[in-house]
Amino acid sequence: TQLLEQSPQFLSIQEGENLTVYCNSSSVFSSLQWYRQEPGEGPVLLVTVVTGGEVKKLKRLTFQFGDARKDSSLHITAAQPGDTGLYLCAGPPFGNEKLTFGTGTRLTIIP
């Protein structure tokens, strides 16, 4: 059973389009992190959201933590080829100290 489900699993869009990927759970999380992983490399942290309803922006990327702290979304505006990669959400279920990783969304931006 996967605690964090990400959707879609794969997404391929044209450069300049907007997109949203989702990270959902039936459990409450203390916080959620988003990582991006490029081929042949390890994941790199993009952002951590801590408070229910929190919104954080990183240039063209907008991250939101659900009010109930069970879900999160990542919205990319005007996608660029450099956004291509595997996006992973991760978080500690409430009361647990260890990170649980989501299944990942593999994003491809076509020039």
Using CB under 8 A as the binding rule, whether residue 84 contacts another protein is answered as no
Tell which residue, 87, 63, 56, 75, has the closest CA to residue 17. Answer: 75
**Count of C-beta atoms within a 10 Å radius of residue 34:** 25
Using CB under 8 A as the binding rule, whether residue 66 contacts another protein is answered as no
16, 20, 45, 58: residue in contact with another protein (rule CB under 8 A): 45
Separation of alpha carbons 11 and 15, rounded Å: 12
| The residue to which tokens 């260890």 are assigned | 98
Choices 14-22, 41-49, 52-60, 65-73; region in contact with another protein by CB under 8 A: 41-49
Tell which residue, 35, 25, 48, has the closest CA to residue 88. Answer: 35
CB 69 within 8 A of CB 76: no
Using CB under 8 A as the binding rule, whether residue 30 contacts another protein is answered as yes
Choices 11-19, 34-42, 52-60, 70-78; region in contact with another protein by CB under 8 A: 34-42
Q: Which residues bind another protein (CB under 8 A)?
A: 2, 4, 9, 30-31, 33, 40-45, 48, 50, 88, 90-92, 97-99, 101-104
